[in-house]
Structure 1
Amino acid sequence: MNRYILKTRLLFCLLILLVPQGLWAQELYTGYIKDAATQQPLGGVTIQASSGHKSMSQPNGRFTLETPAVIERIAFTFLGYKSQDIVNPRTGQELQVLLQPTAASLQEVVVTGYETGRPLLQTAGAVSLIDREVIARFDESSLTRAVNTVPGVRMEERAPASYRLSIRGSTLRSPYGIRNVKIYFNGIPFTEANGTTALNLLDAGNIGSIEILKGPTASLYGAGTGGTVLLEPQRPVPGSHTLEVGTTIGDYGLRRYAATAGVATENSSILVQYTKQKYGGYREQAAMDRDVLLLSSEFKLSARQTLAANLMYSNLYYELPGGLTQEQYNQDPRQARGGQFGSVAQQASLDLEGINIGLKQEYDFNDSFRNTTALYGLHKFKDNPFNTDYERNTNQEFGGRTSFAYTQQLGSILATYTLGGEFQRGFEAARTYDNNGGTPGNLRTDDEVVAKAGFVFAQAELELPAGIIATAALSLNDARYEITRLGSGAYKYEKDFDGVLSPRVAILKQLTDKITAHASVSSGFSPPTEEEILTSDGQLNEDLEAEKGTNYEAGIRGSLADSRFNFDVVGFYFNLKETIVSQQDVSSVAVFRNVGSTRQKGVETSMAYTLLNQPTQTLSLLKVWASYTYSHFRFREYQKGETDLSGKKLTGVAPHAVTAGLDFNTRVGLYLNLTGNYADRIPLNDENTVYATSYVVAAAKLGLRKQLGAHFGLDVFGGVDNLTDEKYSLGNDLNAFGGRFFQPAPDRNYYGGISLKYTL
């Protein structure tokens, strides 16, 4: 017995001696991982030892890896970056790992717009993507410069925050605001039932990426011939807890402040962002003040269910300087429209306050069948003293969108079927008064407007042998307005635009593993917006009909030279009937009418080449890119009174437009972004007797990004817009009464800013 006890005690002592040896054999490797080009920390990088043990870096780039013994190799891998190995790593010292970003591959860029989530390389359609990096190339006081890097798209500001967006010439019927373009935010309709979009209620900092679908996309997104824009909000990196504050100060009273807090895990994310921007104005009566509070969240409730919610409150005020004649423009471009009904005398401005709430659910019934459903509601108030009247409107709206997708394997063919619908209903109380120097006078009109818009859609996508993807889609669209005038001259008017079928057929062929060609035919239907039927002076435009058009296009995209050179070329022919054009009457009120048809032919090209991508060198990244748009747009049939304008150039469209840029990064965090824009002469009236001159403008932004210790990231920058000090007009008033066509853009102006980010 004593002998047994002795053996037990000896064994216990041996274990006591061996356990510490096992503990002592544990090896700990620590360090930081950064983007070699930008010096920004990388979270989510997979770290794997040759022993098989794994770890993952934190949002601040910090990593720890524990192994039971000394290892021969550590591998670092991250999507979008070249893998890197460290041989015979040493413990007890901080490892500094610089991952080299790979050149952008079109095979990795996912397109969500056609509901199938395919890479851009496998998408049969004219699509342009603007990521966060492009938006941040500029000072973020406006989306205009980032959007204008895209071929076939032109964004203008008639006044600060007064956006106008054209996709392939669609501003012809948009004297102000955004029309004939459907916009979504996080998959939720942002364009209202009446066809208008208050994009200026968003701040550029709210947006993480922009996806632009050009031409008629009615097969999936309802009525519209001008294209669709899909906005995605910024989201925090999984596993991060961050707080970021920043400010930008510039010429002409530019002041911009932003604060963002984000928390994210593998299954949830919450982002709260507040931005405030003030601008004194380059021109007289051109100040702007905007506050935006955004709450964006996403929760993965289970392996099959994801719920996202957005809440946005915006308060925007901006002044309207008005258009100038050629003589006034040449004399002093900084002046506002003058006279008895001038912009200063009438305090012409626009005050918008709104709240938008959206809820979206994604649910996978199984691996083959899924559903996405979104619901939203909004309330908006507009106070708009104009040169000749005063509008006060209140708008309430709700709506929703749902789509079901089913994937099936049919022998060697993979098929995806999508079926869904969308409905919107808005109610607006619209009142018009006399404008007595910026205060409402006598009531002119008192209207109640109900706008309803809806459609159902279906799509089939077949992945065929020989690298062919075929798509067929169809939608049935409907729109209806009910206008009730109260008080004197009371009446009720109803306009129901008959349901229209809008088909789309597309085919894509994989030529090589990095190059594809595509072609498509699509039809679009675009009813007039409420503002085109019921003009700002209270007049009813009963004869206005919907536009209808057919678009033919073909393109090729891909990459060469080990994905360092990316290109995308598309040509199109668009035949539009019942074209809507705008004219200004003697009181500067825009009126609209159908004028026959237009023919729009064009070529859109974008390309980018990474000349250098060597993170270990002083100059770590050098990249050039460019986009070019050729637009041969003509009125096909247009009789204006006694004058035949058939064959004239389409108003407001530049035949040639070029944007080019250069990106320069160094290993120490210094960066430089250069951008140049060229726009050809633009006809400003349907008769083509007045043109805006061509111009070349350049912009530059220089900055330094540094990681300060384990938790802080710093970005200090300065820049200049209109480096060439070009005198040009941006956001021209088309067919303006009295020759007031020109809206002068700012001359050379400077800005600077700082951003500080704290990561737990």
Structure 2
Amino acid sequence: MSSATSLRPVILSASFQKESGVLVPTSQISEEAIAQFSPVDLVDVINQTTGVYIQSGAINTNRITIRGVGSRTLFGTNKIRAYFNGIPITNGAGETTIDSYNTNTIGNLEIVKGPKATQYGSNLGGTLLLSTNKPEADGFSLHNYFTVGSFGLFKHTTNFVVEDDDLSVHYSYEHLQLDGYRENNAYNRNSYLLTIDSRLNDTFSLGILFQHFNTYAEIASSLSQENFDVDPSQAAFTWGQAKGFKDNRSVLAGLSLTSKISESVSNTTSIYYSYLDSYEPRPFNILDQHTNGYGARSIFAKEFFNRNRKTIISLGTEWNQDFYNWETIENRYEENAGFGSLEGQMLSDNKEERTSFNIFGAAKFPVSAKIKAEVGLNINKTQYSYSDLFTLGTENKSANRNFDPILAPNLSLLYLLNSSITFYANGSRGFNYPSIEETLTPEGVINPDISPEKGWNYEIGTETKFFNNKLQIQVAAYLLSIQDLLVAERVGDDQFIGRNAGKTEHKGLEVSINYKDSLGEKLTLAAYVNSEFNAHTFVDFVDGDSDFSGNGLTGIPREKIATGFRVTHDLGFFASTNYQYIGVQPITDSNSLYSDSYQIVNVLAGYKTNIYNFLTATISAGINNLADETYASSILINASSFGGNSPRYFYPGEPRNYFTSFQVSYFF
């Protein structure tokens, strides 16, 4: 940093839009790391991170848990908050999907574990910050990616990039199709992405984001133990008969203006709009839903200097409003001569307006030459307004739910023992609001007694570097105590009730080791070992006549170990392999049933060459699940049995499969 008397570059608040800016270490997944895995989705590379576990039933069926938070969600993810280039991609009900994001356009993924990122909503699980990749050089460039593989995999991406001092344009088109390993498991996606960053003058910069997804995904659903053992490639019987699928069309648009108010003060203000149109035939009904979302986000940043020590203060607000409409329709697939779903009578017609408002502030400042501190506070106000349009005029079930404001403070301390060893501590409060199902009773009215989950996160850790930063070790220990645990209890084929069922305690130890060095004059080795061990338990949990207090938290493995290495040669050759071990996990709250542990090995090798100064090409090939392990990639906890059938707990993971990728880049 420059001295106090020289000209200092302003710290633009735009950095707070794409980076967490928190004082303590976070997990970063780089573009290089993403390239070491299958280009289909982000699941495998995220699962290498300590404290984070994605259960994946299919490309479009993922449940993200961070340090055990989110394991109670039966389908999808709703205990974290996510942003793409600074624009929220989490809807008003707290639901987040990342399956549509193209691996060939993601340049960095930052994961904040726990409610430490005050300016991002203080969710108990944490925050995901996705950002697009940056151009390699100024000028015009065109990048084409092609991938073919097992189970009918075909993927094509075209990225067109313009980059200079005052203008950056990134346009991407992607087509992905897959027949799928299982019956009724095909997937098809087309996506378009446009980002523009323009420096208008010395004071203002303008950012534009437009993204469109069109996805069609057949649904094979989960299997019972018997069917999983006999033939994991089969679809659940009723889902196969109904030919269930989900057809989504979504739009995300955002406009950001960054203002340099003075040499030390800046502001970034964003407005955004999102739209989702989803049609999903299921055996028990057909769900037709669409959501219009609006929002605005504004952050001011100010930096001070005192004796060459920098203090940064940020203040901001974020407002989100969703208008969610959904209908359920009778599915008469059994009368359709084997052609799948057939619409019958309307069963329900609903509308919900969801509004959330955050005010937040944070300050990072030096306490002494070796100690830095960060203090922050997030204040949230959320309300739901529900209307039953189906029974309107006969039985009015419409109601409002106005939650009390929640205050979420945050304190972090960082101690620099020397240039190689750092210690840190954090204490922060977070919260999670109920999902749509949890806010309604089986009769379809607002549940007046449901409350948000609230909890305190405590964490200590160290980051140590050896051998001129070639070896880096991170160790973190945490305790997360959650009260008013939200439980979605299944009472019918598509009926859930939500309630606050007690307390959980999340305790864990995470160790990350990274090493990078040269092997001779032409070879470079990068290796890592990421391991986590936890003891997540129900402290107080009574369900009806059953007391599950003291049992292990359902749907979370006690151990997770990921390791891998990558070797690159100056001539362009590269090879990598990664290994993951997932320990056993309880499937039921009674802990009477556990899933089996499993191990997965993936390998990849390739070659990159410069054909001309303006043309490069890369070819690679990979094998996923090298040992052909049979395993469940996702568990449906506490699954119920209906009609005398066995509970369907398991989503089968893919067997051994192959892919080949080819990339060509033109630079003008």
C-alpha change, 1:405 and 1:691, in structure 2 (3 Å) is same
Distance 2:295 2:104 in 1: 26
C-alpha change, 1:302 and 1:537, in structure 2 (3 Å) is farther
| 2:457 and 2:480 in contact (8 A); partners too | yes
Name which of 596, 601, 604 aligns with 1:698: 601
1:754 aligns with 2:662: yes
Aligned ranges 1:422-433 → 2 under 5 Å? 422-433=318-329
Name which of 304, 326, 331 aligns with 2:203: 304
Deviation at 1:417, TM superposition (A): 1.5
2:182 aligns to what?
Answer: 283
What SS does structure 2 have at the residue aligned with 1:746?
coil
1:577 aligns to what?
Answer: 483
1:458 aligns to what?
Answer: 361
2:342 aligns to what?
Answer: 439
Name which of 78, 86, 90 aligns with 1:191: 90
Cα shift readout 1:669-710 (whole Å, capped 9, x = no counterpart): 111010000000011111111111001100001111111011
What SS does structure 1 have at the residue aligned with 2:58?
coil
Deviation at 1:540, TM superposition (A): 5.0
What SS does structure 1 have at the residue aligned with 2:635?
coil
Identity of aligned residues (%): 27
Cα shift readout 1:147-183 (whole Å, capped 9, x = no counterpart): 1111000122212222221111123232112211100
Of 282-291 and 486-495, the range deviating more from structure 2: 486-495
Name which of 637, 660, 666 aligns with 1:734: 637
C-alpha change, 1:449 and 1:223, in structure 2 (3 Å) is farther
2:44 aligns to what?
Answer: 145
Q: Which amino acid aligns with 2:654?
A: P
1:415 aligns with 2:321: no
Larger radius of gyration: 1
Distance 2:437 2:332 in 1: 23
2:385 aligns to what?
Answer: 482
Distance 1:377 1:115 in 2: 20
Name which of 527, 548, 571 aligns with 2:454: 548
| 1:413 and 1:465 in contact (8 A); partners too | no
Distance 1:520 1:694 in 2: 32
Cα shift readout 1:179-209 (whole Å, capped 9, x = no counterpart): 1110011111111122112322322223111
- Residue segments in structure 2 that go unaligned for 5+ positions in a row: 1-10, 334-340, 642-646
Name which of 168, 171, 177 aligns with 1:272: 171
| 2:14 and 2:268 in contact (8 A); partners too | no
What SS does structure 2 have at the residue aligned with 1:417?
strand
Q: Which amino acid aligns with 2:50?
A: P
Distance 2:441 2:665 in 1: 47
What SS does structure 1 have at the residue aligned with 2:653?
coil
1:712 aligns with 2:615: yes
What SS does structure 2 have at the residue aligned with 1:659?
strand
What SS does structure 1 have at the residue aligned with 2:143?
strand
1:54 aligns to what?
Answer: none
Cα shift readout 1:251-306 (whole Å, capped 9, x = no counterpart): 11111111111110012110110011111111111111111100011111223322
Q: Which amino acid aligns with 2:362?
A: Q
Distance 1:599 1:119 in 2: 26
Deviation at 1:592, TM superposition (A): 3.1
Distance 1:639 1:647 in 2: 11
Cα shift readout 1:705-732 (whole Å, capped 9, x = no counterpart): 1110111111111110001111100121
C-alpha change, 1:114 and 1:648, in structure 2 (3 Å) is farther
| 1:293 and 1:313 in contact (8 A); partners too | yes
Name which of 496, 506, 517 aligns with 2:402: 496
Q: How many residues align?
A: 643
Distance 1:432 1:499 in 2: 33
2:6 aligns to what?
Answer: none
| 2:12 and 2:301 in contact (8 A); partners too | no
| 1:432 and 1:536 in contact (8 A); partners too | no
Name which of 111, 126, 130 aligns with 1:231: 130
2:279 aligns to what?
Answer: 383
| 1:412 and 1:465 in contact (8 A); partners too | no
Of 377-386 and 533-542, the range deviating more from structure 2: 533-542
Deviation at 1:114, TM superposition (A): 9.4
TM-score in terms of structure 1 length: 0.82
Deviation at 1:564, TM superposition (A): 0.5
Deviation at 1:591, TM superposition (A): 4.0
1:250 aligns to what?
Answer: 149
- Residue segments in structure 1 that go unaligned for 5+ positions in a row: 1-109
Distance 2:117 2:463 in 1: 24
1:394 aligns to what?
Answer: 290
Deviation at 1:392, TM superposition (A): 0.5
Q: Which amino acid aligns with 2:120?
A: Y
C-alpha change, 1:118 and 1:688, in structure 2 (3 Å) is closer
Distance 1:521 1:154 in 2: 23
Q: Which amino acid aligns with 1:433?
A: I
| 1:348 and 1:386 in contact (8 A); partners too | yes
C-alpha change, 1:536 and 1:244, in structure 2 (3 Å) is farther
Q: Which amino acid aligns with 1:663?
A: R
Distance 1:752 1:333 in 2: 25
Q: Which amino acid aligns with 1:434?
A: E
Distance 1:177 1:373 in 2: 30
Cα shift readout 1:569-624 (whole Å, capped 9, x = no counterpart): 1110010001113333341545432211001100111111124354x33xx11221
Deviation at 1:126, TM superposition (A): 4.9
| 1:113 and 1:213 in contact (8 A); partners too | no
TM-score in terms of structure 2 length: 0.93
2:33 aligns to what?
Answer: 134
What SS does structure 2 have at the residue aligned with 1:737?
coil
Aligned ranges 1:590-739 → 2 under 5 Å? 590-614=496-520, 616-617=521-522, 620-738=523-641, 739=647
1:58 aligns to what?
Answer: none
Q: Which amino acid aligns with 1:360?
A: S
